[in-house]
Homo-oligomer: A and B are copies of this chain.
Amino acid sequence: MDKIKSVAVVGGTHGNELTGIHLIKKWEKQPELINRSTFNTNILFSNPKAFEKRCRYIDIDLNRQFKTTGLNNPDLINYEQSRAKAINSQLGPKGDAKTDFIIDLHNTTSNMGPCLLLLGKNEFYRKMGAYVKHRMPHAVIIIQDFAAPEDYAFLISIAKYGVTIEMGSQPHGVLRQDILTYMEEMTGYILDYIEHVNNNTMPDLPSDYEAFYYTETIKIPVDDKGNRIGVVHKEVEGKDFQPLSPGDPIVSLFDGGELGWQGDYTAYPFFVNEAAYYEENIAMALSKKITVEI
């Protein structure tokens, strides 16, 4: 593959996820921490206005505004839709971007630990997961590979390659020391990995590793007025990446009943009861545990 020449590290895509915001402010003052010899590293604070308001967004979720059709639609004019176009102009444009690689820094209220979400499964991504997992064995590697590039709505999709770092559990609006340490560590490993790719100096990597492959999203059912009729079951609460067998309870209904997992495979939930997904009534995402061979 071509060398990676331009990297962007992005924080504050959601204004109440404080770890990335703290780190980009730190790195603005100490750029040597994220600079490497073979590429430029740029920093972007993507939604400072939402941060000022201590909320996820002003008008709409910024990290869902980067589909090619949306970026090209001049009628989408609210604050985050406008920010998306501005960021696409700054780091993109999507499909022919001046930025080769984006790292977007996020927090989750779910008990997911330190997660690296790869937006694809080609050799570059697979080896990145191996490199990070080898140095940070408690990290969780997640593969998202469910759309064509133009149809991804994430900020990272405007570059040739991109990853999301998600770390929790951390309530929105809180800064936890442990998560701050993990995020700085993981970001450093990713930048080191790219440096090795560019220099052709990759150290030995394990031949395979455990990862999770996104499969689907589970919603809380609602009544005819749109109100939720249940809550994430206490047996699943906090148990991200622990196995759910078909029939295991996933939703407790307010009328006393419960709903079980209806699929035909052993699922590994994540984003369990994430605060930001309430407006869409999402209970959790599901994945399959896989072995990634590099």
A173 at the interface (CB under 8 A from B): yes
A177 at the interface (CB under 8 A from B): yes
Question: Shortest beta-carbon distance, A249 to chain B, in Å?
Answer: 10
Inter-chain contacts of A55 with B (CB < 8 A): 54-55
Render A161-194 as a binary contact track against B, CB cut-off 8 A, 1 for contact.
Answer: 0000000010111111110100000000000000
Question: Shortest beta-carbon distance, A39 to chain B, in Å?
Answer: 27
Question: Shortest beta-carbon distance, A24 to chain B, in Å?
Answer: 14
> Contact size class for A?
20 to 34
Inter-chain contacts of A176 with B (CB < 8 A): 231-232, 234, 237, 273
A177 in contact with B26 given A171-B275, A275-B171 (CB within 8 Å): no
Known A-B contacts: A171-B171, A174-B278. Give 14 more (CB < 8 A). A26-B254, A109-B173, A109-B174, A172-B172, A172-B173, A172-B275, A173-B275, A174-B273, A175-B273, A176-B231, A176-B273, A177-B231, A177-B252, A180-B231
Query: What are 22 inter-chain pairs, A to B, with CB distance below 8 A?
Result: A54-B278, A54-B279, A109-B171, A109-B173, A169-B171, A171-B275, A172-B275, A173-B276, A174-B273, A174-B274, A175-B231, A175-B273, A176-B231, A176-B232, A176-B234, A176-B273, A177-B232, A177-B237, A177-B252, A178-B234, A178-B237, A180-B231
